[in-house]
């Protein structure tokens, strides 16, 4: 597949520095320009969390905020904002700053089923064109402290690069016993609904 599947003259703008999201989109033949949004994410979703909003609501609000921030600076461009939230036992988890925090988070997730919610919003000239939210449920193996430490030894930057402290398409696959949902959602994008939206707008030929 080549970039000719995209009908617009300018590339799709991804309002995220996520290498995983960029790869997913480029693998479908879409031309991508990276312009990361600079927003205070906690200022967006913390009030929603305090009101008891669901992970879907929070993820979608963050996706909208990111896309709006970039759209304000790039008129006429098609902007994709995206976010992913992990919810376990009713607790929404965020990325961690260091290995010690990652090991604690993995210990909390071990032996449980958690939910990953991936959201995307497409905005052009400040107007919402469409958005999408998908969910996946992942059951992590029961892991003792030695197993978690061994994983951390090998995981390196993966520990702080994703909300769950794992990249399931790589070493993180060892941590799981079951995954329910598509792998695009797990990796951080509701890709299939996103592509369907692009087709409805006439932005892709396939």
Copy the structure tokens of residue 134. 């998908």
CA–CA separation, 144 and 14 (whole Å) = 38
CA–CA separation, 175 and 140 (whole Å) = 6
89 catalytically annotated: no
Of 139, 117, 93, nearest to 184 by C-alpha is 117
> Is the Cβ–Cβ distance between 132 and 190 less than 8 Å?
yes
CA–CA separation, 190 and 206 (whole Å) = 18
Out of 83, 87, 125, 131, the active site residue is 83
Residue 182, CA atoms < 13 Å, CB-side half-sphere? 12
Copy the structure tokens of residue 41. 């994410």
> Is the Cβ–Cβ distance between 42 and 68 less than 8 Å?
no
SS3 percent helix, strand, coil of the chain, rounded to 5, is 40, 25, 35
CA–CA separation, 140 and 186 (whole Å) = 13
Return the active site residues: 83
């Amino acid at each position: 597949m080549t970039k000719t599947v995209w009908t617009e003259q300018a590339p799709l703008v991804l309002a995220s520095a996520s290498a995983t999201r960029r790869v997913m989109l480029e693998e479908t033949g879409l031309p991508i320009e990276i312009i990361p949004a600079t927003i205070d994410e906690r200022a967006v979703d913390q009030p929603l969390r305090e009101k008891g909003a669901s992970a879907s609501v929070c993820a979608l609000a963050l996706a909208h905020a990111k896309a709006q921030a970039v759209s304000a600076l790039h008129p006429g461009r098609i902007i994709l904002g995206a976010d992913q939230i992990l919810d376990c036992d009713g607790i929404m988890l965020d990325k961690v700053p260091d290995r010690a925090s990652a090991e604690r988070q993995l210990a909390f997730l071990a032996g449980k089923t958690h939910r990953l919610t991936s959201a995307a919003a497409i905005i052009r000239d400040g107007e919402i064109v469409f958005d999408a939210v998908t969910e996946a449920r992942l059951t992590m193996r029961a892991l003792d402290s030695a197993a978690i430490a061994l994983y951390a030894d090998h995981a390196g930057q993966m520990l702080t690069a994703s909300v769950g402290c794992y990249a399931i398409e790589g070493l993180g696959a060892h941590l799981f016993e079951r995954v329910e949902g598509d792998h695009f959602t797990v990796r951080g994008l509701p890709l299939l609904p996103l592509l369907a939206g692009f087709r409805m707008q006439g932005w892709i030929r396939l």
